[in-house]
Each structure stands twice: as structure tokens, then as C-alpha cells.
A and B are shown apart, each in its own frame.
Chain A
Amino acid sequence: MIDLNTGKENSWCPGCGNFGILNSIKAAITDLVEKGTPKANIAITCGIGCHGKIFDYLKLSGIYGLHGRALATATGIKLANPELTVISFGGDGDSLGEGLEHTLFAAKRNMDITLILHNNGNYGLTTGQFSPLSPLGYRGLSAPGGNIERPFSPISLLLEAGATFAARSYTTNPRHLREVLVAAIEHRGFSFVEVLQPCISYNNTYQYYNERVRIMESTPTDIYEAMRLSRMDNPVWLGTFLQKSDPCYHEQLAGVATPVKDRMDQEQRLQLLKEMF
């Protein structure tokens, strides 16, 4: 395993599902580096919430940005230098509440970015309020009588928006999660990985998921089957729901291919202005 430790003291609750994500992303990055992606070419972004702390625990370059904006900053990095492998971490409140527009548009554009969604079904760091993925009836400080909003079905939502890779895994199955993360990051285009992440303090779903998760034996035959399977609550299917090849946004956007490398120098710019006018 590559040493990706930063030495930063970990402040997740003992037993938090985030540890599973941290260990699996380290393993997945080790795999990717062994397969030829230079570690130096990996950039990460995150939003704000329990998920975001992963930024401090990974010795990788990137930006710990604003709540909800992880995919917007990731988009900027990718467009500035498409040669980078860009991975974005988001929470369910972050990516599907505050930042829903960026999530849908990153999928719509088929941005070549991987979004790892830490789905803990609540707002952990702000003390357990209901989130866009909390089930009906979920009780939290902002919904003492129980959540009255129906939750999103994140995989079918992202497939509808245009994601070209969508998968689900579970923090208690590190081998599966590692494989899914490697496949997602290697996929050319927008990859969405929903990670079922129990929140030990506010939404302990270990038993719920342990009783229900099953790994699909094969990828569903089409997008409708993928959506149908992804929406089932028993069993809760794990695995890759869809993977397809479509042009990426950065390949189609006019202008130079790699702005940070192909840029005109000052002399060329002034010369071009003289020629234009």
C-alpha cells in the first residue's frame, strides 16, 4: 500500500462508516498507481461535512472547498488540466442538497470526474438533521416529528441526469468497495459511486444493510433495468448498475485542449492582438 497518511489526527466517531471509505480509497489509489496513474496526477475535492474530513486524511493534492461545491471545484480543476485524474467526495446533504445542481450538471456534461457519495442518510456533522436521502419518518433536530420529505433515489437520479457510470457499494465490504472505486475512477466520463455509510451516532444502519445487501451478478441490461434495481429496498443491490462510453465535456469544449500546458505566452498574445486589430 502506498503511504497516503497525512499524520492528521482522525476525528470521525469510533465505528463510523467513513473509515471503510478511507481505507478503500487508499487501497484503490494504490491499485491505480500500480496500474500506471501517477499519484502526482490525482487531485481531490470535497465539500463540508463528515465526509469532507477525508481530505485531511489523504496525502493527495486538491481543495477542501465550500459546502455543496465539490463538483464545481472539481470541474474547474479538470477543465484547467484534463490530464489530471479528479476525484470528488460528497455527502448526501452536500451533493444532493446544497450542491444538487452541480451534481446533476456534472452528470449531464459527462465531466470526467468520479463522485464518491458518502451516503449516511443524515447530516452527521451538524448533529443528525434529516438529509435528501433520509427515509420518511426519520427523526432529527429539524424534523422532531419525523421526516415528511420523500428521499431521492440517488442512482436513478444520476442516471437520468446523464452519468455514464453508476455503482453502489457498502463500507463493510472493503474488497467490493475497492474494486468499484477503481472501476469508477478508471471510467472515462462521469462516475457516480453511492457508498452506503452507516452513521454510528445518528443513523446506525449497519443491521439494516447487513440484512439486505446483495451483490448483483452482472450489470443490468439497460438503463431502465438499472434504475429499477437501484430503487429496490430489499434486497439493496450492490455493484455496477451502468457503464457506457460517451464523449466527455472537456473533449468538446472549444479552446485549447489543456489550458495550463497549451497556453500562449505573453509575446504570442500581444502579437495576436496586433494581428487581429
Chain B
Amino acid sequence: MTDRPYTVLVGGKAGDGVKKVVQVMAAVFHKRGWHTFQMDDYQSLIKGGHNFSIVSASPEKICNNRHKADLIICFDKKSYDLHREELNPGGCLFYDKHDGDLSGTGIELTRMMKDSYAVPSNVSIGALAIFFAHLGLSEDDLLETIRLSYKRNLEENLSYARKVFPLVTPGESIVDLKTTPLNSILLSGNQAIALGAWAAGLDMYFGYPMTPASSILHYYAAQSQKLGVKAVHAESELAAVNMAIGAIVGGARAAVGSSGGGLALMQEAFSMAGIVEAPLLCFLSSRPGPATGVSTYTAQEDLMFALHQGHGEFSRIVATPDSYERAFSLSAELLCLAWEFQIPAILLTEKHLSECITDLALPLDQIREAVPSLGKDTQDYDRYALTPDGVSPMLFPPSDATIKWNSHEHLPSGLRTDKAADIITMKDKRALKQPGIEEATKRHIRVNTYGSGDKLIFSYGSTTLELREALKLLPPEYKLVSLVYLEPFPSDELAQYRGREAVIVEHSRELPFAAFLREKADIVCLSGISKYDGRSFDPDDLANRIEEAFHD
């Protein structure tokens, strides 16, 4: 039993079932009372290449996976060459003897697979058998897990597993697995985001596939019968976002999502949401850019893009989850705020949070319902009625009232206008919302802090996950300040740090978050720790870099 999380890495080709088998391993840990965090590293291809997945597991809550592993299983020579240096002291590496005699423990994975299957075969069952045997779990448990997790080729899978299992001797009391499961569930960030908005009342989701946001669309589509939610795969991002605004006009709570490239296409309609006053929720899951960039990796290059989404002047909310529980609750919060003020809102996240999977208890007690303030169904109804707080009551068809939404500048009735005085009236009317929006965000957690030391570290989004895991390795002399709400900016909460020096950590080359903090809160960047290779931070490396940053 080690005091660091126990980490398993499985590497192979795309199509080998790497991600799935590590998911099954995570579920095995979770079922036995351990917290887990799984990260999948894959390329934009369907077969071949190199994929690996890592799961870290611990009896304590875990915020991020480690990169060095205690158990490494390689399906091919490429995986072996890439990952053999990543073994922790005392760890074990298993490889396919088919690749030759290498250091580590060779198992005839390919040969036994050929003996067990006609076609198609599943080498990842071999990895599962190694995992069960190495951890000292029983063969019965292994076979039962395969029955539950793999629906196809059951008899062949069981036959293969029975051949591999006896070849591996249990490691010495490696992990102390309990038998009581945790009161939590395993979800990806995108699933938590999707469920959060739904819990607050989302009726419809419109999307166009773009990694790493696609799995939001997939999840709603898969769950649409159970949740009642409509998932529409539109012809383009332009279509998706205009459809969503149409759905809002029709009276539905609607959201859209994409990565940076897709949000770029949605910008014109994002502006339309500003002028027609549509409560449009957008999920933006970042990957390295610009343009196509790197499809399947993580980045935080879209901070300024999210904050400045759309052309023209109008209010919006931009916020970013720094934990999986927050991903769920923030998604719900943003739908509520969007509807309260009839403005667009962006939930900004990254591939790392979107696609990693961890265990969490859904904070259901934090969920409120997104409800519009409704107007009276009368002939004199005005869609854009002037009110003290700038929020005009809504109505939806069918209605005896004429409800006119307009992307042109308009009169309170929604009819178009070009008159100078009318333009000022309506721009001022929309601007009246801003103080209310700022007040309303104060109901929610806008800034999280972790630790209470003197040395300040700032971050946002999934970088906070990496930092929290890194801080476990450091003495308690640090304080991590993690921003959740970026717009409206929580100036009041950050006033206490004005003029202070801090280390700022982010996944971008140009350190826009550091510049943003300097501009908005006068926080001085003592040193910026940036990582812009698409990969997440290894908490061990990050801990070292933090120490160096403060000692320099």
C-alpha cells in the first residue's frame, strides 16, 4: 500500500479497446470503494496509431491522474518503447511476448488470443486478466466483470481470460481494496455538464460533431428517451445555433456546444442572442488551435475568444468549472442565469475535463430550475417592454399576443427601427441588465480557494484539477485561487489580492490568463507556468515547477 494513488497505464493501437478496458478497471476500483481518475490519450484516427489510457485510483478523493504508473500493460512494441520509462519504482510492466524478449514480464498475449478467438479478437481482455491477477482479485470476479462489461464474443473472451489469468502471480499486497462501494458515480466531464443543464430544465440540444465537445451530443442522443431531451445533429454549427435560438423562441430551454472552431462559426448567432435577448447556453470545450489545431488534446487558448464571443455590445456570462461536481452545478447555474436575464452564457472548459472520467456525487441540492419571467397574454404585449431592470417578460406561442423577436434593432414591440432615439433606448434597456447580472452571480461560488498558505497560485478550469493533485505533494505553504466566473469578473472577491505576486498556471503559450488577471485585478505574475503541447500536466512535474517558480 503506497500513499500515492495507484496508477495503471494501458497502451496499444486505436481499435485495441484500450479506453474501454481502462474504464472497466476504473469501475473495478470504484466498486471496491476507491476514487478514480481516468485520462485517455488518443489521436484523431480510428484504427492503428498509438493510444493509451491511464487510471489513478486511491482511497482518498483524487483530482487528477498521475502520469507515472505502477502497472503498465503494453499491447505492442510502440507502447512498450514509449511508456517503459514511466514505471514507478516497484511497479510492474507487462508486454506481449510476441514483441520479443524485453525487460518486464512477457505474456503470450497475441498467441493466446489467436488460440481463443475466431475473429474478431480482443487483446484488451488479456489486459483485464493481468490486472485482476496482479491485484490479487479472483478469477471468478474477473469472469463476472467480463460478463457484465463485454456483450459480444462472451465465450471467446472468457476462454482468453482463463488462459491469461493463471500466468500472472499476484503482486505483494499492492492495493487494499475494500468491499463497500462509494456513494458516487463515474462520469466524464461532458456527461456531468450535459446532466447539469438537463437537471435545470434543458429541453433540447443542438450540435455538430467536433472533438472534444461531441460527447455532449452523443450523451444527450443516447439518453434522449430516458430524459425526454431532444438531441439534434444539425447540418453545421451555423444551423445548430440558429435552431437553438428558434427553439428558445418556441419556448424550449436549448443549448449548443462545440470546440473553438465550432464556436467561431456560431459567433454571428451568438451576437443575435445578444440583440434578440435569447437565453442561449453554449458549451465551449477547448483543444489546441488555431483552426483545426490538434483535435484530441487539451488547451486553454480560448479564454479571450470566449470572453469576447460575438460582435457588437451586449452582456454575457462566461464561467468555467474547476471540478466535476462544479461542471454539473455550473452548467445548471448558467442555464438559470441565462433565462433569468435573457442573455447568452458560455460554459468554458477543456478536453481534459470534458473527456476525463472520475467519480463524483452529483450535488443535486445545488440545482435550481431555469424559469423565465412570464408576461401577460394580451394584445398590448411587447416582447421588448421597457422595465427598470432591463428584463422584459417573455411569452411563447401559441399566444393571442404578437411576440416578435428581432435581430434588427427594434422597438419595444419587436418591430424594426432605424431611428436614432430608438436605437439608444433599446441599447440602454439591454445595458440595464448588467448590474443585475453581476449581483446574481454573487449567489454562486465565483472563486474557489484551496489551501491557506502565503504563496499564491492562480488558475482556472481543468488546470485547477492538475494543481490540486500537485499540491498534495507540496508542503502547505501555498494557496490556489481558482476562478469559476470570468465574466462578470469577480472584482470584489479578488480585491484582497490586488498588487500581490502570484504564479499563474495555464495551458497556453501566450499566458492570456496572466494578462487578464493583471488587467482586471492587478495581480502581478511572478512567474507563469505554461504547457501548450496539448498534454495535461503530470502532477509530479507540476509540483516541481511550482517550487522552482517560487525559488527563482
Question: Which of A's residues lie within 8 Å of B, judged by CB?
Answer: 6, 8, 38, 40-43, 45, 48, 53, 55-56, 59-66, 69, 72-81, 83-84, 101-102, 104-105, 253-256, 259-260, 262-266, 269-270, 272-274, 276-277
B22-30, B396-404, B498-506: which one contacts chain A? B396-404
- CB of A40 within 8 A of CB of B225, answer no
Question: Which residue from chain B places its CB closest to the CB of A109 in the assembled complex?
Answer: B235
Interfacial chain A residues near B224, Cβ < 8 Å: 254-255
7 contacts between A and B (CB under 8 A): A38-B398, A40-B398, A65-B405, A69-B238, A77-B250, A102-B242, A266-B201
Question: Which residue from chain A places its CB closest to the CB of B249 in the assembled complex?
Answer: A63
Q: In the complex, what's the smallest C-beta–C-beta distance from A277 to chain B, in angstroms?
A: 4
Interfacial chain A residues near B460, Cβ < 8 Å: none
Question: Which of B's residues lie within 8 Å of A, judged by CB?
Answer: 185, 195, 198-201, 203-204, 206, 221, 224-232, 234-236, 238-239, 242-252, 254, 268-269, 272, 276, 362, 364, 367-369, 396-408, 413-416
- CB of B407 within 8 A of CB of A65, answer yes
Interfacial chain A residues near B397, Cβ < 8 Å: 40-43, 61, 77, 81, 84
Interfacial chain A residues near B199, Cβ < 8 Å: 266, 269-270, 273
- CB of B407 within 8 A of CB of A64, answer yes
If A63-B246, A64-B416, A101-B239 touch, does A69 touch B405 (CB 8 Å cutoff)? no
- CB of A73 within 8 A of CB of B235, answer no
If A40-B398, A72-B246, A273-B195 touch, does A8 touch B206 (CB 8 Å cutoff)? no
Interfacial chain A residues near B405, Cβ < 8 Å: 62-65
- CB of B415 within 8 A of CB of A277, answer no
Interfacial chain B residues near A253, Cβ < 8 Å: 230, 232
Which of A6, A81, A104, A256 contacts B228 (CB under 8 A)?
Answer: A256
Q: In the complex, what's the smallest C-beta–C-beta distance from B401 to chain A, in angstroms?
A: 8
- Shortest Cβ-Cβ A-B pairs, 5 listed: A76-B246, A80-B250, A72-B242, A73-B246, A80-B252
Q: In the complex, what's the smallest C-beta–C-beta distance from B100 to chain A, in angstroms?
A: 46
Q: In the complex, what's the smallest C-beta–C-beta distance from B104 to chain A, in angstroms?
A: 39
- CB of B248 within 8 A of CB of A76, answer yes
* CA distance in complex: A65, B203 (Å): 22
- CB of A254 within 8 A of CB of B404, answer no
- CB of B242 within 8 A of CB of A60, answer no
* CA distance in complex: A66, B246 (Å): 11
- CB of A40 within 8 A of CB of B247, answer no
Interfacial chain B residues near A277, Cβ < 8 Å: 185, 362
- CB of B231 within 8 A of CB of A254, answer yes
- CB of A263 within 8 A of CB of B203, answer yes
Which of B201, B234, B398 contacts A83 (CB under 8 A)?
Answer: B398
Which of B226, B228, B254 contacts A263 (CB under 8 A)?
Answer: B228
Q: In the complex, what's the smallest C-beta–C-beta distance from B189 to chain A, in angstroms?
A: 16
Which of B228, B234, B276 contacts A262 (CB under 8 A)?
Answer: B228
Interfacial chain A residues near B243, Cβ < 8 Å: 72-73, 75-76, 79
Secondary structure class of chain A's binding surface, majority of residues: mixed
If A64-B407, A253-B232 touch, does A77 touch B225 (CB 8 Å cutoff)? no
Which of B362, B407, B413, B415 contacts A273 (CB under 8 A)?
Answer: B362
* CA distance in complex: A64, B203 (Å): 23
- CB of A81 within 8 A of CB of B250, answer yes
If A72-B238, A272-B227 touch, does A260 touch B250 (CB 8 Å cutoff)? yes
Residue in B198, B201, B228, B406 with the greatest tally of chain A CB atoms within 10 Å? B228
Question: Which residue from chain A places its CB closest to the CB of B411 in the assembled complex?
Answer: A8
Question: Which residue from chain A places its CB closest to the CB of B398 in the assembled complex?
Answer: A40
- CB of A80 within 8 A of CB of B246, answer yes
- CB of A77 within 8 A of CB of B402, answer no
Question: Which residue from chain B places its CB closest to the CB of A259 in the assembled complex?
Answer: B203
Which of B221, B229, B246 contacts A75 (CB under 8 A)?
Answer: B246
- CB of A76 within 8 A of CB of B244, answer yes
Interfacial chain B residues near A63, Cβ < 8 Å: 245-246, 249, 276, 404-407
* CA distance in complex: A259, B206 (Å): 14
Residue in B236, B369, B415 with the greatest tally of chain A CB atoms within 10 Å? B415
* CA distance in complex: A74, B406 (Å): 14
Which of B198, B239, B400, B403 contacts A269 (CB under 8 A)?
Answer: B198
Residue in A64, A78, A101 with the greatest tally of chain B CB atoms within 10 Å? A64
* CA distance in complex: A266, B244 (Å): 21
Q: In the complex, what's the smallest C-beta–C-beta distance from A14 to chain B, in angstroms?
A: 20
Question: Which residue from chain A places its CB closest to the CB of B222 in the assembled complex?
Answer: A254
* CA distance in complex: A269, B194 (Å): 13
Question: Which residue from chain B places its CB closest to the CB of A7 in the assembled complex?
Answer: B415
- CB of A66 within 8 A of CB of B272, answer yes
Given A76-B250, A260-B396, 17 more A-B residue pairs with CB atoms under 8 Å apart are A43-B250, A55-B416, A64-B407, A66-B268, A72-B238, A72-B243, A75-B246, A76-B204, A76-B252, A79-B243, A80-B247, A101-B239, A253-B230, A259-B230, A260-B252, A263-B203, A270-B199
Q: In the complex, what's the smallest C-beta–C-beta distance from B267 to chain A, in angstroms?
A: 11
If A254-B221, A273-B199 touch, does A45 touch B246 (CB 8 Å cutoff)? yes
* CA distance in complex: A208, B106 (Å): 84
